[in-house]
Amino acid sequence: MRAMPASAQDKKPEFILDTKNFPLIGKVHRYDPALDQLLPQDAKLEVIASGFDWTEGPVWVKDGAYLLFSDIPRNSVMKWEEGKGTSVFLKPSGYSGNTDYGKEPGCNGLTLDSQGQLVSCEHGDRRISVLTKSGGKRTLVDNYQGKRLNSPNDCCYKSNGDLYFTDPPYGLPGNFADPRRELDFCGVYRLAKDGTLTLLTKELSRPNGIAFSHDEKTLYVANSDPARAIWMAYPVKEDGSLGTGKVFYDIAANVGKMPGNPDGMKVDLKGNLFATGPGGVYVFSPAGTLLGRIETGEKTANCAWGNDGSTLYICADMYMCRIQTSTRGQLL
């Protein structure tokens, strides 16, 4: 999340159509030889679409072979297809009101449920919704113990159908000081299949990106607070609750020196973590060793596996990018 100029929503995006010559940005920094098993030596970061305000929440849709992602300030979900380029998939995406609702009213994190339906973390409407097969939306959750959520940010499903999500106030027009806030904390939650909502932890000041390890024994949560820029690792208990978390990696030293904070992330099938943060996408081994960094040169918000699972799509401010890897992630 970052502030946008007041005129941002008035700008028109410029869509890159099909081409074999996508622009290249950034570079790959290699800190450990193990990165060579995950990213080819000639790996390049391609810009497949640009001109957006703030890209977020990418998700690959296997049934149709296309990418969906949020443009939060424009209150839209965009669709990108190889050979066709980009189009508007859904608008409004996160705020259905008829008054101004700040700089980031749209949806943020996106995922797919077991039926392939789009699940959205909506800023403006302060809920998590599902876009049903019939084309209508249904609210999955919008409150905790009768108090409205802040602005759901990111989410991920456990294989048993439980949905885990984070709830900082970035989507509120006044952010932390917004008078519309009803909860005095930022929570990490579990929404069980039966609709039961459980607060898992409220210890993080700005919980943001969230992802399971491949074996689902660990839940990673990014804390995007510049004063405590970390990724946490929580053991997942048999009943779905969380044990005592530990700091997986502290990146505070890079805050302010590189653009961005800890944000969205994904895990490959070998347990390596690809996490957006200051200066791009950090690549960690399951043990927490920093293997490398994909530098984007921009504030980098999120990433997702696509195509056959070996392509990593990356949201970098106004850009939608991709890089070919030598590993694979789980497709939804």
Task: Count how many Cα atoms sit within 13 Å of the Cα of residue 209 in the half-sphere of its side chain.
Answer: 33
Specify the 3-state DSSP secondary structure of 323: strand
pTM of the model: 0.94
φ, ψ (nearest 5 deg) of residue 254: -95, -10
Round to whole Å and give the CA distance between 75 and 228. 29
Q: What are 46-93's pLDDT values in tens digits?
A: 999 999 999 999 999 999 999 999 999 999 999 999 988 999 999 999
What angle (nearest 5°) sits at the alpha carbon of residue 65, between those of residues 67 and 295? 40
Q: How far apart are CA 213 and CA 269, in angstroms?
A: 9
Query: 15-324, what's its fold?
Result: Neuraminidase (2.120.10)
Give me the mean pLDDT over the 127-142 stretch.
Answer: 97
The two structure tokens encoding residue 21: 């010559």
Instruction: Write down the domain spans for the chain.
Output: 15-324
Distance, in Å, from the CA atom of 75 to the CA atom of 188, rounded to the nearest integer, reads 24
pLDDT in tens, 273-329: 999 999 999 999 999 999 999 999 999 999 999 999 999 999 999 999 999 999 999
Instruction: Report residue 10's pLDDT band, with 50, 70 and 90 as the boundaries.
Output: very low
pLDDT(94) > 90: yes
* Angle, alpha carbons 285-291-25 (nearest 5°): 125
Q: What is the predicted pLDDT for the residue at 21?
A: 75
